Amino acid sequence: MSRIKSRDTKPEMVVRRVLHAAGFRYRLHSRDLPGKPDVVFRKRRKAIFVHGCFWHQHELETCLDGRRPKSNTDYWNEKLNRNVERDRRNVELLQAGGWDVLVVWECDIKNAEKLDARLRSFLTDAPPR
């Protein structure tokens, strides 16, 4: 697990490319914010987390990457439950501080048009196209 990256992951890079192509400029991994959001827009007070479906336990029924391992279940249940609880707590802390938070799941990056529309909608407060 020491080789699992927490920054500059493929899903994060895809989101950053879409944002940059749309003309948005941002900061990365602000250490002064709870959870160190992957992408931060300080003036807009908006933060984006890009979550891997497995590590952050995406519960969407169509997402097969969020399934838990069938072996060593005690270890994995404890670890993954901690991750989910930490994510929930970080989002709550940010929202309590007046931040809008968007979570983009790893499986969301497969449809670039939907991702672009979702990010634009979140950042411009306009209804989605």
In a domain, 118, yes or no: yes
Under the banding of pLDDT at 50, 70 and 90, the label for residue 4 is low
Q: Is pLDDT above 60 for 126?
A: no
What is the C-alpha to C-alpha distance for residues 109 and 91, in angstroms, rounded to an integer? Answer: 21
Structurally, how many domains does the chain consist of? 1
In a domain, 115, yes or no: yes
3-state secondary structure of 2: coil
* Token pair recorded at residue 105: 């799941």
In a domain, 108, yes or no: yes
In this prediction, residue 51 carries a pLDDT of 92
For 50-72, how does the pLDDT look when each residue is reduced to its tens digit (9 = 90+)?
Answer: 998 888 888 877 788 888 888 99
In a domain, 16, yes or no: yes
Q: Is pLDDT above 50 for 22?
A: yes
In a domain, 116, yes or no: yes
In this prediction, residue 3 carries a pLDDT of 63
Supply the range of the domain harboring residue 16: 8-23+98-122
For 26-41, how does the pLDDT look when each residue is reduced to its tens digit (9 = 90+)?
Answer: 999 999 999 999 999 9
Under the banding of pLDDT at 50, 70 and 90, the label for residue 2 is low
Q: Is pLDDT above 50 for 128?
A: no
Nearest to 6 by CA among 33, 27, 35, 26: 35
In a domain, 18, yes or no: yes
In a domain, 86, yes or no: no
In a domain, 111, yes or no: yes
